[in-house]
Amino acid sequence: MQRRSFLKSSAVASAALATGSLAYASGNSAKNPPAEKHNFKLKYAPHFGMFKHSAGEDLLDQLQFMADAGFTAMEDNGMKGRDVAMQDKIASKMANLGMEMGVFVAHTIYWNEPNLTNGDPAKLDEFLEEIKGSVEVAKRVNAKWMTVVPGHVDLKKDLNYQTRNVIEALKKASAILEPHNLTMVLEPLNFYNHPGLFLKEIPQAYMVCQAVASPSCKILDDLYHQQIQEGNLIPNMDMAWDEIGYFQVGDNPGRKEPTTGEINYLNVFKHIHEKGFTGIVGMEHGNSMQGKEGEQAVIEAYANVDKF
């Protein structure tokens, strides 16, 4: 799964969602229920589309399928682009199922040009206005976290000046979020999939969050990205623990479900659980196999790595 394919901008997300099937269904069970309901120790959060062959295209049916499989959370990068009526229906369905809302993308991500790093006042104003809009979305869907990516480096500025500009932008965004008890989580992204981005590593994100010094600015530790970027997953996690607010996962290589690559997710999840993490672990990856069989394989993979 390439993150770039569904996070290019809020406008792209909105266009894609406008053409999708978002019909409302009020059924109490999934059309093709999972083989069994698991009692997961961590709040693993699938995303829409992950179980569409089993549950169908309807988003509410997909939520029902997730809950029937034992998942207690869901994340949706494109939530901000969905119409208000659908946001309301998703929130109501999740509340009825006792599911928590994970992250959605809070702003337009600049993949190929600087926005926060260069200190451009117009780009900063745009970012802050989008954060304000995300507050309303978060309230509507009962979200606590939203993803922020500071964008591309400015090749004409020293890295220290860029860091200062990013910190100041995030301080202003935190001031918007703090009164609502909302948290933006900064996601470092690896150099291989996303060359040229400012935020790449956990130590760097830790330093930025320490400088912002706000409960509304934390780290999104995506272990797929960090396995590629720096490895040393558990030690880096421990060093930055006080600033980590959210996890996302995917195995490497391939960015598919745990057990398909090189990361020992059984040990990683055991470590996260033993440290007392009660937040959400987003399943931001694709399925290694197609169809219903592949979807059941995803569920079984999480059941296996949750056996600690």
pLDDT at 10: 42
Q: How many CB atoms lie within 10 A of CB 75?
A: 25
Distance in angstroms (rounded) separating the CA atoms of residues 219 and 233: 14
Identify whether the C-beta of residue 246 lies closer than 8 Å to the C-beta of residue 282.
Answer: yes
pLDDT at 17: 40
> Which one-letter amino acid corresponds to residue 114?
P
Which tokens hold the place of 301?
Answer: 């993979």
Which tokens hold the place of 306?
Answer: 């949750």
> What parts of the chain have a pLDDT lower than 70?
1-31
Is residue 165 exposed (0-12), middle (13-18) or buried (19+ Cβ within 10 Å)? Answer: buried
Distance in angstroms (rounded) separating the CA atoms of residues 29 and 301: 23
Of the candidates 169, 167, 101, 76, the residue with the CA atom closest to the CA atom of residue 131? 169
Identify whether the C-beta of residue 72 lies closer than 8 Å to the C-beta of residue 99.
Answer: yes
User: What is the per-residue pLDDT across 159-212, written as a single tens digit (0 to 9) for each?
Assistant: 999 999 999 999 999 999 999 999 999 999 999 999 999 999 999 999 999 999
Element (H, E) at 90: helix 84-97
Residue 282: which residues within 8 A CB-CB, separation 6 or more?
45, 47, 75, 102, 103, 246, 247, 248, 249
Instruction: Provide the greatest CA pair distance for the chain.
Output: 56
* Domains located in the chain, CATH noted: 3-305 (3.20.20.150)
pLDDT at 32: 80
pLDDT at 35: 85
User: What is the per-residue pLDDT across 216-237, written as a single tens digit (0 to 9) for each?
Assistant: 999 999 999 999 999 999 999 9
pLDDT at 31: 66
Of the candidates 199, 195, 196, 197, the residue with the CA atom closest to the CA atom of residue 185? 199
Kindly provide the b/e burial profile for residues 34-46, where b requires at least 16 CB atoms within 10 angstroms of the residue's own CB. Answer: beeebebebbbbb
pTM value? Answer: 0.90
Three-state SS at 222: strand
